[in-house]
Amino acid sequence: MTAPGEESSVSSGFVRSYVITGGRGLPDADELSLVTLVTIAPDRQPPPNPSPEVRAIWELCSGGYLSVAEVAGHLGLPVGVARLLLQDLNQQGHLLRRKAPPPAQLVDRKILEEVLHGLQVRFG
């Protein structure tokens, strides 16, 4: 128990996250990783009586693809909470997902030097 005037050890951010998720456990990172790109499916209507967070996701993702990390950052939510809300929208058929592009492959240094040499010859 805390003395009068002391702060509780439970932060308001933790309580807010618990309320937003309805106390549900957070989904696996495999389903929606930080770099998974998401957008709202065309010609979809928002779910009935959406929470303020779902409304904000709807407005944010209607303009095009954003990563899960960007959605969480724009909304000021923990990534796990944003991931859970996005997973709900996905299960309801409102969300389109794309995996992030694969990392770039290393190019042979000799090829890069030949390209640089060709550009120097061409443009001085």
pLDDT in tens, the chain (124 residues): 445 555 544 455 545 555 565 656 666 666 788 889 999 999 889 888 888 889 999 999 998 999 999 999 999 988 888 898 998 899 899 999 987 777 888 888 999 999 999 999 999 7
> In the block, which residue shows the tokens 């969480």?
72
Distance CA 55, CA 52 (A): 5
β-sheet with 66-67: strand ranges across: 66-67, 37-40, 95-98
118: Cα separation from own chain's centroid: 42
In contact, 87 and 57? CB cutoff 8 Å: no
Integer-rounded Cα radius of gyration of the chain: 22
Place of tokens 């996701």: 57
In terms of Cα–Cα distance, which of 38, 122, 121, 120 is closest to 79?
Answer: 38
